[in-house]
Amino acid sequence: MVWGVLSCADRESSASRPLRISVATEPSTVDPARASTVFEAYIINNLWIGLTRYDQGLEVAAGVAQMWSFNADATEITFRLREDARWSDGEPVTSYDFAYAWRRLLDPETAAEYAYFLYDIVNAEAINSGEMTPDELGVETPDEHTLVVHLRRPVVYFPHLTTFMVTMPVRQDLVERYGERWTRPENLVTNGAYTLSEWRHDYRLTLSASPHPLDEAPAIESIEVYTINSSSTALALYQSGHLDVVL
């Protein structure tokens, strides 16, 4: 968890009150495909979990995928998803959610800054340039818990790529139902430790513990992320005990 690394300041955080954090710039989005800044990554990595993630030793570890394996020449990787993975509304997280998210990321209409992260997948670059359609992406979903990725060359580091925020799963039904409003707190469904319960623009985002976390419930029940443009103001609030972490 990102906040677990950041909360090493000499403050005690308890589950009974929010962890209060300040950022210099408000995230422009919490859409994994359109995110591009470090502040957006801090939020997204607490709302979502990808196929893989980094452990505290910065080694690739299981996320939604409980295991993965390459074929003989490392041009195909198969991820097997955990059957107990759930979205915050209780629906299962499936291989279809990842396949949809990746096709959406590469769709030129999404205009994703980091679409190139998946260019190692067969047809990905051609899709992103508009030469092919998203349906032609080299991914297969034999069943809801299996994702097969076809690579255009041997890519042994691919499990590292699937830790990045732009590869997180996305619910197709919600994007289609709400359009650009799918990331609003009242519509957003996530699969990570937290959900987005409030977003008061230019003031505060509030993250609340998910009712269906992949692992154990987070020790901190809620996180408040304040936008404070002035570093001196943020420091003063930290020193007076009104903030726990300043980024």
- Tens of pLDDT, residue by residue over 27-38, are 999 999 999 999
By the 10 Å C-beta count (0-12 exposed, 13-18 middle, 19+ buried), 171 is classed as buried
Which of the four pLDDT bands, split at 50, 70 and 90, describes residue 10?
Answer: very low
Residue 107 is predicted with a pLDDT of 98
- The b-or-e profile of 82-107 (16+ CB within 10 A means b, else e) is beebbbbeeebbbbbbbbbbbbbbbb
Instruction: Let me know how many helices (H) and strands (E) the chain has, helices first.
Output: 7, 11
Handedness of CA 180, 182, 186, 191 (dihedral sign): negative
- Cα–Cα distance measured from residue 111 to residue 164, given in angstroms and rounded to the nearest whole number: 17
Residue appearing with tokens 């991820």: 79
pLDDT band at 196 (very low <50, low <70, confident <90, very high): very high
The answer for 146, left when phi > 0, alpha when psi is -120 to 50, beta otherwise, is beta
The answer on pLDDT for 67 being more than 50 is yes
- DSSP letter assigned to residue 150: E
Q: Which fold has domain 2-246?
A: D-Maltodextrin-Binding Protein; domain 2 (3.40.190)
Q: Find the radius of gyration of the CA atoms of the chain.
A: 18
SS3 of residue 159 by DSSP: helix
The whole-number average pLDDT for the span 111-124 is 98
* Per-residue pLDDT at 234: 93
pLDDT at 3: 40
- Structure token digits, residue 69: 């394996």
pLDDT at residue 6, as a whole number:
36
Tell me what pLDDT residue 247 has: 86
In the prediction, which pLDDT does 80 show? 99
Give me the sheet containing 146-150, strands edge to edge: 65-70, 76-81, 146-150, 139-143
Mean pLDDT of 44-48: 96
